[in-house]
Amino acid sequence: MVENDIFKALADPTRRAIFEKLAAGRMNASALRDGLDISQPAMSQHLAVLRNAGLVREEREGRFMNYEVDPDGLALIARWLAKYRAWWPARIDALKALLKDMDQ
Amino acid sequence: MTDPTEETAADDLVLEYELDAPPSRVWRAISIPAFREQWLPDAALADGAPLPARGDGEIRYRLRDDEPPFLESVVTFQVRPNAEGGSTLRIIHALPAPWRATAVAANDDTPCLMRAA
């Protein structure tokens, strides 16, 4: 499952919690911190990592910055995984053919 | 949703194949450019030369996706003998760096072990 791989990529439990919260809908950093035992600077750092990974994007709304799951990022990861998951078996078939030839 | 039995990085695509050929031949097919080109073409690689080895029995190449945004990624091939006189080939294909950053957190040079949550 591609979705499973995406979630597995979020190995840090705190970031995973943040990401899953955002999956429910966009919110600002202080709403994100509700229910999570995490300082404001730590939240900023986690959000920066998620953003740099292309999983989360931000949008300014008045004085606040809102965060949401970046649909483009997820689509890109899913596409990449799906592509190479299908690509490798074909490469291995070619490798097996070569190994047979090398045996001659 | 994490799997505690998973022994590689959370963000790797890991595939394992059993091959009839002995490890020495598989090794040549992977490491000698003229052979490698026949099943893993230069067009798929960022660089035909392998990356510096980190240990015995493995070889690493840098791949480049052939469509935008042409992301580069690292694939590691590990070859070991299997019980039938053939070889087990393990392919560890790491996610491109921009996404990998998410998974390996702050300690960015230890990508090989997943911290089971």
The Cβ of residue A55 has, within 10 Å, a number of other Cβ atoms equal to 25
- B-interface mutation test, from A70, A74, A84, most B Cβ less than 10 A away: A84
What is the predicted pLDDT for the residue at B70?
79
Task: State how far the Cα of B76 lies from the Cα of B86, in Å rounded to an integer.
Answer: 19
SS3 of A99, please? helix
Q: Which domain holds residue A49?
A: 2-102
Q: Which residue of chain A comes nearest to B19, CA vs CA?
A: A96
- The pLDDT score that the predictor gives to residue B78 is 96
Q: Is B59 on the interface with A (CB under 8 A)?
A: no
- Tell whether the model's pLDDT for residue A20 goes beyond 50: yes
Q: What percent of chain A is modeled with pLDDT above 90?
A: 35
pTM of the model: 0.63
Number of independent structural domains in chain A: 1
State residue A11's pLDDT score. Answer: 67
Q: Does A17 touch chain B (CB under 8 A)?
A: no
| Separation CA A89–CA A91 (nearest Å) | 5
Looking at the complex, does the CB of residue B26 fall below 8 Å from at least one CB of chain A?
yes
Write down the ipTM of this complex: 0.78
Q: Name the token pair of A39.
A: 């300082």
Angstrom distance (rounded) from CA B86 to CA B13: 23
Question: Looking at beta carbons, which residues of chain A come within 8 Å of B111?
Answer: none
Give dist(CA A28, CA B83) in Å, integer: 56
What is the number of CB-based contacts under 8 A between chain A and chain B?
Answer: 107
- Would the pLDDT of A79 be above 60? yes
Q: Say if residues A19 and A56 touch (Cβ distance below 8 Å).
A: yes
Q: For residue B4, give how far its alpha carbon lies from the nearest alpha carbon of chain A (Å).
A: 11
Taking 50 as the pLDDT cut, the residues of chain B under it are 1-8, 101-117
Cβ of residue B24 closer than 8 Å to a chain A Cβ: no
Q: Is B28 left (phi over 0), alpha (psi -120 to 50) or beta?
A: alpha
Nearest chain A Cα distance for residue B52, angstroms = 22
CB B49 within 8 Å of CB A49: no
pLDDT per residue as tens digits for the range A30-71: 899 998 889 999 999 888 888 877 788 999 988 889 999 887
- Could you give all domains of chain B from N- to C-terminal order, each with its CATH number? 12-102 (3.30.530.20)
